[in-house]
Amino acid sequence: MQISARGDYAVRAALSLATAYPRLLSTQAIAAEQDMPRKFLEAVLADLRRAGIVRAQRGAEGGYTLARPPREVTVGAVLRAVEGPLAGVRGLRPEETSYEGAAEHLPGLWVAVRAAVRRVVDEVSLAEMTSGRLPAHVRRLTALPDAWEPR
């Protein structure tokens, strides 16, 4: 799974909003805190607003806030809002792939990969991220001997 800059910025912005919830934060405040370009952040926040994850308030005291409490917003929801489906194969959903011959069983693997990604990002809320209290099954993954080694 590859997380684009857009996905990374979206999650980081959502975490800033989760920490401030229910207060409003300006794009300038989020950009400064997270060291990201304000114009790019504005586009990301617009995607999150269209997806119903954040809400915006205009005016001098305006800014952004989460549309729901941080415990009700998952990292997966934030990523989907800006990236689309979490796992794709050549632009198809895993269950839409089809192969012949030696690769005929490959769709099952692609579906399993998507399920594994979902098991992490759809089961971790913004509140868990900001508190540092990840679910036990996610903590166990980070504790695997080779989890932090590049391949």
Q: Say yes or no to pLDDT of 132 above 80.
A: yes
User: In 3D, which of 36, 44, 55, 33 has the Cα closest to residue 6?
Assistant: 44
Beta-strand runs (E) in 26-102: 54-57, 63-66
Q: Say yes or no to pLDDT of 2 above 90.
A: no
| CATH assignment, 5-142 | 1.10.10.10
| Mean pLDDT along residues 14-35 | 97
Beta-strand runs (E) in 33-117: 54-57, 63-66
Distance CA 107, CA 63 (A): 44
Q: How many CB atoms lie within 10 A of CB 30?
A: 25
Q: Say yes or no to pLDDT of 18 above 90.
A: yes
pLDDT tens per residue across span 35-90: 999 999 999 999 999 999 999 999 888 899 999 999 999 999 999 999 998 888 88
Q: What end-to-end distance do the CA atoms of the chain give, in Å?
A: 13
